[in-house]
Amino acid sequence: MIGIKDRVAVVGMGCTKFGELWDKEALDLAVDAAYEAYEDAGVEPKDIQAVWLGHAYEGLTGTRLARALKLDYVPVTHVENLCCSGTDAFRNACYGVASGAYDIVMAVGMEKLKDNGQAGQRSGIDPDVTSRTKFVDAAPPSFAFLATRYFHHYGLSYEEGKKILAKIAVKNHHNGALNPKAMLQKEITLEEVVNAPIVAYPLGLYDCCGISDGGAAAIITTPEIAKRLRKDYITVKALSVVCGAMQGTLQSDYDFVHIEETVRASRMAYQEFGIKDPRREIHMAEVHDCFTITELLICEDLGFSPRGKGPEDVLKGTFELDGELPVNTDGGLNTFGHPIGASGLRMIYEVYKQFQGKAGPRQLKRIDTGLVHNLGGAPPGNYTVTITILGRP
């Protein structure tokens, strides 16, 4: 296996502000993100040879994007992998270039959730086409299972557990407050998080990411072409996708305190890039904090913290902006909300900007390796996880 390491480069990116964008439809967000990316890369729309479009609930086919962007007779492939749709579109675009089939391609993620006419999440996410004959829980309780079990497994009282999770929300809100593209740009206190109304016990309002609209895009090319376009391009070091097969509920030995799909995907990605000590070798991570408990488990599953020691790292600030290994420097899903197909590319956008030193007040001092992690589906055992590792050429 040759692998993807250093075979493709990200040469331009765009990302809209995320939020309740009542005056925009999904395709407007794709247009805004794509044109920012064209400009950033210094390419023309006609230079794009193929497009991969990630979204989950936005209708069918790639022609919608072709129509919006007036891409004349180029392939547009719709990629759907729930919350991983954006990073899976990115991955497909990377392989498109790495295969030699194309020189310059684009990955676009978009999602318009606020047209559904209600607050909060839609009815239970059933990755199967629903026949409505069986019970399907919504995302908040499905992730809350992990929190309930984590507290129990490690002997944390409700108050102790809530405080640890609250620290994650406080950190992400702090970062989001420094980001003009975040939906929520406001600091919150530990007390506010702990005392917020419960959405799905034990998770409260601030433990859950919001529902928002957004779009993001990346232009991907060969390192040779990238060199001609700009100096500060970044390269892809590893790509992995892992799909669970419902082991979490089919097998009664699954523990609900880790997510095996993340463990497996990270193992594949670390091997592809050659990472042995992720805590030292990875300098920043954008991870799928759909809920605070998810971020806690991810940090253990990715090997940032030893098993069961995630809380210690959270409490001592390891993952904060000035910590040892900053996580979700842009504010995460926690402050961006989660427009399904857009989130993954938004996370890559943050890593890209950090590499280029353009992250403003959130700028990190040292960054050579960044990791992006997405996780989608429900319940545990039924997840898709994508991991994207980015670095300097």
Partner 1 sequence: MLDHTYAGTKVWAECDLLIQRVTEIFKGEKLMIGITAYGTYIPLWRMRRDLISAGKTGEKAVASFDEDSVTMAVAAADNCLADMDRQSIDGLFFASTTSPYKEKLVSTIIAAVLDLPKEILTADFTNSLRSGTIAMKSAMDSVSAGSAKQILVVVTDCRLGAPGSDFEHSCGDGAAAFIIGNKDIVAGVEGFHSTFSEIMDVWRADGDQFIRNGEERFVQSQGYQKVVPPTVTRLMKQKNLTAKDFAKAIVNGSTSRRQRDICRTIGFDPKTQVQDGLFDTVGNTGAALTPMLLAYALEQAKPDQLFLAASYGDGCDAFVLRTTGLVGKAKSKLSVKEQIASKRMVPDYKTYLEWRGLLTMQRLSRPLAGPISVAALWRDQQYILPFHGVKCQVCGTVQYPPQRVCTKCHTKDKFDAVRLAGKRGTVFTYSLDYLSSGIEPPPVAITVFDFEGGGRALLMMTDRILSEVKIGMPVEMTFRKYFSHEGIHNYIWKTMPVRRELLTGGKA
Which residues of this protein are in contact with partner 1, per CB under 8 A? 118-124, 130-135, 137-138, 140-142, 144-149, 152, 197-203, 245-247, 249-252, 256, 379
Dihedral of the alpha carbons of 255, 256, 258, 263, in degrees to the nearest 10: 80
Q: Which is nearer to partner 1, 100 or 197 (CB)?
A: 197
Question: From the CB of 123, what's the least distance to partner 1, in Å?
Answer: 5
Q: Among the residues of 82-186, which ranges form H helices?
A: 85-98, 139-153, 158-177
Q: How far apart are CA 50 and CA 105, in angstroms?
A: 5
Q: How far apart are CA 214 and CA 30, in angstroms?
A: 8
**Catalytic residue status for 338:** yes
Question: From the CB of 263, what's the least distance to partner 1, in Å?
Answer: 18
Question: From the CB of 114, what's the least distance to partner 1, in Å?
Answer: 15
Q: Which is nearer to partner 1, 63 or 130 (CB)?
A: 130
Active-site annotation holder among 15, 55, 83, 290? 83
Could you identify the residue written with the tokens 């593209």?
A: 181
Say whether 232 sits in a helix, a strand or coil.
coil
Question: From the CB of 304, what's the least distance to partner 1, in Å?
Answer: 24
- Give the full edge-to-edge strand order of the sheet including 234-243: 76-79, 50-54, 104-112, 213-221, 9-15, 234-243, 383-391, 369-377, 284-286
Question: From the CB of 352, what's the least distance to partner 1, in Å?
Answer: 35
Say whether 79 sits in a helix, a strand or coil.
strand
Q: Which is nearer to partner 1, 120 or 393 (CB)?
A: 120
**Catalytic residue status for 288:** no
Q: Which is nearer to partner 1, 73 or 135 (CB)?
A: 135
Q: Is the separation of the CB atoms in 323 and 168 below 8 Å?
A: no
Q: Which is nearer to partner 1, 291 or 355 (CB)?
A: 291
Active-site annotation holder among 55, 173, 258, 338? 338
Distances in Å between the Cα of 371 and the Cα atoms of 13, 60, 379 are: 17, 30, 24
Q: How far apart are CA 381 and CA 156, in angstroms?
A: 24
What residues are annotated to the active site? 83, 338
